Amino acid sequence: MDSYNLIQKIAIYALPVLLAITLHEAAHAYMARRFGDNTAYMMGRMTLNPLKHIDPVGTVLLPLLGLVIGGVLFGWAKPVPVNFGALKNRRVGTRWVAAAGPLANLGMALMWALLFKLALNVDGYFSEPLALMSQVGIQINIVLMVLNLLPILPLDGGRIFESLLPPGMAWKYARLEPYGLWILLALVFSGLLSPILRPFINLMYSLLGVLL
């Protein structure tokens, strides 16, 4: 990938990144509506239109900086608004709404893995670009899935963990949410986030290799 210029890199990264973010957020909105909360639907977030989910800084600026200076891509989309109090069976609904995003990323990782295998077995002009795009798709979806499953509020893993705790413990755990972003940033800038994520990312690559 180092031999490609910035425009070529953007062309390779754009579709996998936009799909990963769009389907992740749309999956949250869909599951929330299924469990009785129409907030995201009414705000137009239950859509595959990426413009509805893009955050100018987290979805555009930071990934572009990552491509320019190198290193791991880092960013975010606009969070889907969910009124957890409106969900039918709040604990179960919260669990499924939170899990929907990572499950969407898992499905996309499988899709890109199949396309990567296809690219390796087909000769043609588009084989190399498709292989590179597929590698990016696998990487971004696995990283997003594993990152979001960390048991830190307001990440999806934090929501799932909270929904599994007894009510009293869940209430105390929920009070940590205002500090979640700071905890995540501390992990990023201390260099601890990568060692925490790496074993799970490697496990997902291994599982994809076994399945395909």
pLDDT given for residue 1 in this prediction: 62
> Is the distance from CB of 13 to CB of 136 less than 8 angstroms?
yes
Q: The tokens of 173 are what?
A: 């755990």
pLDDT given for residue 70 in this prediction: 64
- Cα-Cα-Cα-Cα torsion 46, 149, 194, 20, nearest 10 degrees, comes to -20
pLDDT given for residue 191 in this prediction: 86
Nearest to 18 by CA among 48, 57, 40, 62: 48
| Residue 7 banded pLDDT, cuts 50, 70, 90 | confident
Residue 189 has pLDDT above 90, yes or no: no
Mean local confidence (pLDDT), 180-196: 89
pLDDT digits (tens, 9 = 90+) for 121-172: 888 778 888 999 999 999 999 999 999 999 999 999 999 999 999 999 999 9
Question: Active-site residue among 25, 128, 162, 177?
Answer: 25
pLDDT given for residue 2 in this prediction: 62
Q: How far is CA 11 from CA 1, 130, 133, 163, 193, in A?
A: 12, 11, 9, 40, 28
Q: The tokens of 143 are what?
A: 């990283």
pLDDT given for residue 9 in this prediction: 80
pLDDT digits (tens, 9 = 90+) for 22-56: 999 999 999 999 999 999 999 989 998 888 888 88
pLDDT digits (tens, 9 = 90+) for 48-103: 888 888 888 777 777 777 667 765 566 678 889 999 889 988 999 999 999 999 99
> Is the distance from CB of 153 to CB of 174 less than 8 angstroms?
yes
- Cα-Cα-Cα-Cα torsion 44, 45, 49, 53, nearest 10 degrees, comes to 130
Residue 107 has pLDDT above 90, yes or no: yes
* E strand or H helix that includes residue 50: none
Q: The tokens of 177 are what?
A: 């949410």
Q: How far is CA 80 from CA 23, 30, 140, in A?
A: 12, 10, 19
Specify whether 25 is catalytic: yes
pLDDT given for residue 170 in this prediction: 93
pLDDT given for residue 200 in this prediction: 95
